[in-house]
Every structure is written in structure tokens, then in C-alpha cells.
Structure 1
Amino acid sequence: MMYQGSCHCGQVAFEVEGEPTKVFACNCSICLRKGSLLWFLPHNKLRLLTPEENASTYEFNKHVIKHRFCPTCGIHPYGEGVGPSGERMAAINVRCLEGIELSSLTVEQIDGRAR
């Protein structure tokens, strides 16, 4: 299935292909504050609908994840990184997707503080 997603103001918009049946809530210092629910998938399933330059990037700690956010409204719709197998990955904040029933998703906790 194809989903449309964006930040609040629409300056950062994208579409993503797949089915987010399981998402992750991370307790690292940034994810805990953002409250995002992350759906990890291969980066090639993410297609930006707005220029990449519309999103700002924040990196911290080991600088392995690019936390992408809108500089206008501040919403964090997705992140980018590399999975354990070396594959380029996207971490989609499912709260930024249209048509998602959050209560239907299985949420798994990730201990990001310990990493």
C-alpha cells in the first residue's frame, strides 16, 4: 500500500510503500521527547515529494541516524540511517502518515538509551 506523509505545514512531504503492522517506540533522549512511532523499511520505499533541502537534519551521539525535520513547523516526519546489514534504511514516523489507524499497530519498545 502507498501512504502519503508530511510535516504539519507540508514543506516536507513524501510517500512510502509498504504496510506498517509493527512500529517501534524508542526511549533514547530524542525519540522519547519527540514521541514518534517509527516504522523501519528500506530507504528505496521512501520517495520525497518535496526537495530534500526542505528538511533540516539533526545528528547526535554516534551520528549514525539523520533525524530529518521541518525547519518551519518543527515536525520530525522521518529519519535516515543504515541497518545492521549495511542496507540504507528509512525510519518513518507513522504519526505523520495519512490514513493510519494508530490503535491497530503493534508497538514494540526499543531500548535506545542502552545503545
Structure 2
Amino acid sequence: MIRGSCHCGAVTFELSETPKWLTECNCSICRRIGALWAHASIEKVKVNYPEDGTVDYICGDRTLVTKSCRTCGCTTHWENLKDPRDGHMAVNCRMADPKDIADLRIRRFDGAETWAFVEDE
């Protein structure tokens, strides 16, 4: 299990399974927030925050909403807007304890141009 929270602790998440890898994307939003995404099925993730505790940001092709803590501003996760049947989301593992993700492989994704994973070096 991977647990994480924003800086102030108002938004928390639990990922019930260990992902095969974490994704570092270079698209315009991910590179700015410095996210390290763990993608998962919605049923494997539990996110908790007070009502009106997050700020939503929708950009680009409008297929996902990025959620940030209203109090401290940390981006904690994103949710799928494209297809509710998809059941896919991601949590930002930069919000997790570094020792809990230290052994996970990090794959770089070129979301800025090719929309493909960059070969591992």
C-alpha cells in the first residue's frame, strides 16, 4: 500500500496495490507540478478530502481533471473525464513518503510531443 498526502494533510490518498512503475511526464502541466504518477483503477485508490477541499484544473483536451489542495496547493491526483467507464486515475507519488516508493521503477513519458514512453537508459 502507498499512502500520501498534501503538505497540510487535508487531502490524503491510499493506493491499495503497488504499481509496476511510476510515470514522470513532460507535458506542460506535469513538468510544472513535478508529478510522479501512479496510475491505477479507481477501485484501487481511496482519496479523502473535505467538501470543497480541492481546486480542479481542466486543460488541454479536457480528458482529465487535476486536483490540488485548496489550502496548501499541492497537486495530489487526477481523475478521468473522458469516459466514466474507463475507471482509471492517478495519484501523485511525490506526496508519498520517499521510502515507500524508493524501489519502484520510474518511466519517463513524452507527453509533450510523441505521446509515448521514452526508452529506458
TM-score greater than 0.5 by the shorter chain: yes
Residue 9 of structure 2: aligned partner: 10
Percent pairwise identity: 31
Asked if structure 2 preserves the Cα contact closer than 8 Å seen for 1:82 and 1:88, the reply is: no
Flag the structure with larger Rg.
2
Using the TM superposition, give the Cα deviation of residue 11 of structure 1 relative to its aligned residue in structure 2, in angstroms: 1.2
Report the Cα distance in structure 1 between the residues aligned to 2:71 and 2:34, rounded to whole angstroms: 19
Structure 1 gap ranges (5+): none
Report the Cα distance in structure 2 between the residues aligned to 1:52 and 1:88, rounded to whole angstroms: 22
- Please give the root-mean-square deviation of Cα atoms over the aligned residues, in Å: 2.0
SS at the partner of 1:113?
coil
After TM superposition, the structure 1 = structure 2 runs for residues 61-80 of structure 1, keeping only pairs within 5 Å, are 61-80=60-79
Asked if structure 1 preserves the Cα contact closer than 8 Å seen for 2:56 and 2:66, the reply is: yes
Residue 88 of structure 2: aligned partner: 89
Residue 50 of structure 2: aligned partner: 51
Residue 111 of structure 1: aligned partner: 110
Using the TM superposition, give the Cα deviation of residue 82 of structure 1 relative to its aligned residue in structure 2, in angstroms: 6.0
Q: Which runs of 4+ in 1 moved over 2 A?
A: 48-53
SS at the partner of 1:9?
coil
Structure 2 gap ranges (5+): 116-121
Paired positions, count: 112
Residue 32 of structure 1: aligned partner: 31
Using the TM superposition, give the Cα deviation of residue 90 of structure 1 relative to its aligned residue in structure 2, in angstroms: 1.5
Report the Cα distance in structure 2 between the residues aligned to 1:77 and 1:41, rounded to whole angstroms: 14
Using the TM superposition, give the Cα deviation of residue 62 of structure 1 relative to its aligned residue in structure 2, in angstroms: 0.7
Residue 20 of structure 1: aligned partner: 19
